[in-house]
Amino acid sequence: MTPRVLIIDDHALLSEALAAAFRERGYRDVDVVPLADDPQLVVEVASRQPDVVLLDLHLGPERLATSLIGPLQAIPTTVVLITASRDPLLLGACIEGGASGIVDKAQPFDELATMVEAASRGAPVLSSAARDVLLSEMRDRQRLRRATLAPFESLTPREQAVLGGLCHGRTAEEIATESDVALSTVRTHIRAILSKLHVKTQLAAVAAARRAGWEPGDPGAINR
């Protein structure tokens, strides 16, 4: 009896191919779940009662699967992340989020199959040593990253939304129109941003954000 495996990936053609690879090796119960919103996905997965869920870490250009790990594990099922990313920050976050294992998409398929096998038996997918390495690498990177992002974290949500607009090439006027606030309010935010980031111009603020790899959060925050 082979385990029941579900694949969640934003890349439909690739996940079909992956499912085909499993079937070719004798897994009879492998399926691809069409992408949907988080709650819908969880309901869908729960209704199929899989032994193992192979979850792609990137579910689109701006969507990470980290928020899905917890709810899926709670179904309960075993979640194994598959990713082409090597970013210790992301990988560590998956482990912290409760993922049973992480598989590099590029490693030989046999290893993925072995992992799925182990996961379905309830055996540990990742050795505790490997976990510790990942987590400590993540902590190191987090410390660095926090230092880089500290000035951006000091921005209020509204200021972050305005900076996000500037990063997308919007002018103060456009940001004001788009988010339905007064132009003077946007300018006040901009001045606060400049003084917190220690730069003189809007353009320099955008450059600082790009250099630090800062990503704007929720664009709706300006109205809150």
Q: Kindly determine how many residues on this chain lie close enough to bind other proteins according to the rule CB under 8 A.
A: 46
Binding other proteins (rule: CB under 8 A), the pick from 1, 47, 108, 224 is: 108
d(CA 29, CA 52): 11
Interface with other proteins by CB under 8 A: which range of 42-50, 116-124, 130-138, 184-192?
184-192
Integer Cα distance of 150 and 104 in angstroms:
31
CB of residue 220 to other proteins, shortest distance in Å: 11
Backbone angles phi, psi at 9, to 5 degrees: -150, 140
CB of 123 to other proteins, least distance (A): 21
- For position 131 contacting other proteins by CB under 8 A, the verdict is no
Stretch binding other proteins (CB under 8 A), from 40-48, 106-114, 122-130, 145-153 = 106-114
Q: What single-letter DSSP state applies at residue 2?
A: P
Question: Using CB under 8 A as the criterion, what x/- string covers residues 44-73 for binding other proteins?
Answer: --------------x-xx------------
Complete edge-to-edge strand list for the sheet that includes strand 78-83: 30-32, 5-8, 52-56, 78-83, 101-104
Q: Which of 85, 142, 156, 185 binds other proteins (CB under 8 A)?
A: 85
Which letter, b or e, does each residue of 74-93 get, where b requires 16 or more Cβ atoms within 10 Å of its Cβ? ebebbbbbbbebeebebbbb
Pairing mode, strands 5-8 and 101-104: unpaired
Residue placing its CB nearer to other proteins in the complex, 48 or 105 = 105
- 107, 136, 154, 223: which one binds other proteins (CB under 8 A): 107
Q: Where are the alpha helices (DSSP H) in the chain?
A: 12-24, 38-48, 66-73, 88-96, 109-121, 128-153, 157-167, 172-179, 183-197, 202-212
Which residues of this chain interact with other proteins, rule CB under 8 A? Answer: 10-14, 16-18, 20-21, 24-25, 35, 58, 60-61, 84-85, 104-110, 112, 169, 172, 174, 177-178, 184, 187, 190-191, 194, 200-204, 206-207, 210-211, 213
